[in-house]
Amino acid sequence: MNTPSVFQQKYPLSPRKFWKKMISKIIGFFFASIMLGVTSGLIIGFLVVASKPEYGSWSLLWAPVLMVFFFFFLISTLYGIYVSVYIRRYYYDALEQFLTIQKGVFAPTEIHVPYGKIQDVYVDQDILDRIMGLYDVHISSATITSGIEAHIDGVDARVAEELKNFLLNKIQHGSQVTHQEATISQHQTSSAVVLPGPKAGMFNSKNYPIVGAWYLTAGISNILVAGWYTFCLVWILTYFGKRMAIIDELTMVGLSKALVIYGIIYIMLMIWAMLWKKTFSFEFLPQFIQMKEGVIQREEKHVPYRTLQNVLLKRNIIERMLGLSTVVIENAAMENSKFKRASHVTIPGQPLAKGNELVNELNKILGHTSGQGTGL
C-alpha cells in the first residue's frame, strides 16, 4: 500500500469517492446478477425437482430469486473491496519540478507531468459528481497519456479549488510556489501577472455575450441533427415492431408519427441549446482564460496564455449571413486530448466586430497574428 504524501494529506480524496464508484456500478451489478442468478437458479431448481419431487415447482421460483440476491451481494462485496484497495493505492504528490500521480490495483499506472509542460487545468463534474458534491481536477499536457491518466478525481469543492490554484501558480512560477501558496484566492491567482494580460473585468461573457441570433445557427444545425435522430428512432421502431409482431398501427411508423417524433426531438435539442447558452461563461483573466460550460456535466477550464498556439476567427455560411463569428482558441494539447475538449476554448455567437476585438486582444498577449478560418 502507498503511504499518502504530505501533499495528498493536505488535499485528500473525499470519502464520498468510494460511494460514487459503487453507485455508478449498481445498475450493471443488478443486470449481471439477474443473468447469473436466473441461469444458475434454474439449474439448481431443476436439480432439486429431479432429486426431490415433493418440493414441486416452487424450487424453480425461489432458487433463481435467491441466486440473484446472492450474486448481487457477492459482486458488490468484491467490487467494494477492489474500490477500497484502489483508493488506498491512489497516490499523488507535488514535487519540485513535476506532479506525480499513481493509480491502479493489478496494473498500476504512474505518470509524471512537469509543471512547465502543463497546457491547461480544468475541473469538471459528471451527473453523479454534482449529486454527491465531488469534483475532478484534470491536468493536460501535449500527450495522449496525460489526457487519460493525469487527473485527481473525487475531491470536494475546497480541495478542487485549492488544487486548481496551486497548479495554475506552478504553471506560472514553477518551483517557486510552495504548498502553502495553493490556498490563495482566485483574485490573488489572477493578480500575479507574468505575461501582459488583459484589463481585469473587460473581456468576459458579460461584455461579450452570445447574441440572440446565435439561436438561428443552432436551430438550423439542429434541423439536420433532429432528422438523423428521427430516422434512427423510426427505423428501430419499425424493425422491432415487425420482429415482435406488434399490433398493426404500431408496426409501421407513418409520416405523421415521424413528424411528431421529429418535432419532439427538435424541441428537446433547442431547449438543450438554451440551457447550454445560459450556463456558458468565459473571462480573460491576467494569467489565463477561464471558461465554464455544461448542462449535465459541468466543466471549468483554465488555459494559461503561454500555452496558446492559435487564435482563430471562424465564420460558416450561416454566420456570414447573420454577421456572426466564432472565436476558437487552441493550444498544443488539443489534438492529443482524449476527448479534444479540455485544450481549447470556443466562444460562439459573437458579432463580427466583437469577435475581432477578442482576437486582437489575444494577439496582443501572444504577440502574433492569428489565422482566420473563414471557409465557405
List the CATH number of the domain containing 173: 2.30.29
Mean per-residue pLDDT over the chain, rounded: 81
Residue 53 domain-assigned (yes or no): yes
Give the whole-angstrom CA distance, residue 55 versus residue 50: 10
Q: Taking a C-beta distance cutoff of 8 angstroms, is the pair 156, 11 a contact?
A: no
Q: Is the pTM of this model over 0.75?
A: no
Q: Say yes or no to pLDDT of 92 above 70.
A: yes
pLDDT band at 251 (very low <50, low <70, confident <90, very high): very low
Quickly state the pLDDT bin for 57 (edges 50, 70, 90): low
- 181 and 112, same domain (yes or no): yes
Once rounded to an integer, what is the mean pLDDT over residues 58-64? 77
Does the residue 306 lie in any domain?
no
Mean local confidence (pLDDT), 316-341: 75
147-161: average pLDDT = 84
Q: What integer pLDDT is reported at residue 253 of this predicted model?
A: 58
- Out of 228, 260, 278, a domain closes at 278
Report whether pLDDT(61) > 50: yes
Same domain, 116 and 77: no
pLDDT average, residue stretch 53-60: 67
Q: Are residues 220 and 259 in the same domain?
A: yes
Residue 355 has pLDDT above 70, yes or no: yes
d(CA 138, CA 147): 8
Do 107 and 171 reside in the same domain of the chain? Answer: yes
pLDDT at 169: 86
3-state secondary structure of 44: helix
pLDDT in tens, 169-202: 887 765 554 444 444 444 444 444 444 556 667 8
DSSP 197-236: PPPTTTSBTTTSPPPTTHHHHHHHHHHHHHHHHHHHHHHH
pLDDT at 332 over 90: no
Work out how many domains the chain is built from and give that number.
3
- Cell numbers at 92, concatenated: 499523488
> For residues 14 and 309, which has the higher predicted lDDT (pLDDT)?
14
Regarding whether 268 and 231 lie in a shared domain, the answer is yes
Place of cell 451489478: 29
Domain limits for position 35? 6-89
Maximum pairwise Cα distance, the chain: 89
The residue that leads in pLDDT, 154 or 44, is 154
Task: Give yes or no: residues 98 and 84 share one domain.
Answer: no
> Which residue, 89, 115, 139, sits at the end of a domain?
89
Residue 153 has pLDDT above 60, yes or no: yes
Asked if 13 and 90 touch (Cβ cutoff 8 Å), the reply is yes
